[in-house]
Amino acid sequence: MLATPHRLRTSTDFSTTVRSGVRNGRRNLVLYTAPIAADEPSRFGFIVSKAVGNAVTRNLVKRRLREAAALALKTQGTGLAVVVRALPAAASADWEQLLGDFNAALSANRKRLGGTVPPRLPDRIGSTTTEGTLRA
């Protein structure tokens, strides 16, 4: 679970990030990223609709995406507002695929934002050590 300061909570936060940020789509997700003040903690929000699957499947996808966000916070703790929208393909994706899509989309968005974001993320965030805890 992400700590409260690292969560997007209101619909205004979500809509501002989606409308004013950059977007990058992958097979399993679409990631919207907007810069915020460099001294503010990075915040993440998740959109997982019923098109992804039943409640069990949606919650599994959300848990995996939250873990990917928690790993991203270790290297990018400030300066970003991120909304992750899971696509129906995420239901059948494993942890490695979701993490790879998340990292690739976040890296691409950071490049598109240019100098408006604090220090650069490494090419690969996290490792597979948490894989066993997130499998169905």
Average confidence score pLDDT of the chain: 85
Tell me the range of 54-63, 105-114, 125-134 where mean pLDDT is highest: 54-63
Least confident piece of the model among 36-40, 79-83, 88-92, 95-99: 36-40
The predicted structure's pLDDT at residue 132: 46
Taking the C-alpha atoms of residue 7 and residue 1, their distance in angstroms, rounded to an integer, is 10
Structure tokens at 123: 């090419």
| Strand 29-35 to 22-25 pairing | antiparallel
Domains and CATH numbers, the chain: 4-125 (3.30.230.10)
pLDDT for position 77: 77
> CA 87 to CA 84: how far, in whole Å?
10
DSSP string across 68-107: HHHHHHHH--BSEEEEEEE-GGGGG--HHHHHHHHHHHHH
**Cβ(87)–Cβ(28) below 8 Å:** yes
Q: What letter would DSSP give residue 128?
A: G
User: Band of the pLDDT at 1, cuts 50, 70, 90?
Assistant: confident
Q: At what angle do helices 55-75 and 95-113 cross, to 10 degrees?
A: 50
* The model scores a pTM over 0.75: yes
pLDDT tens for 14-41 read 999 999 989 999 999 999 999 998 889 9
Residue with tokens 């966000």: 69
- What's the pLDDT band for 117 if we cut at 50, 70, 90? low
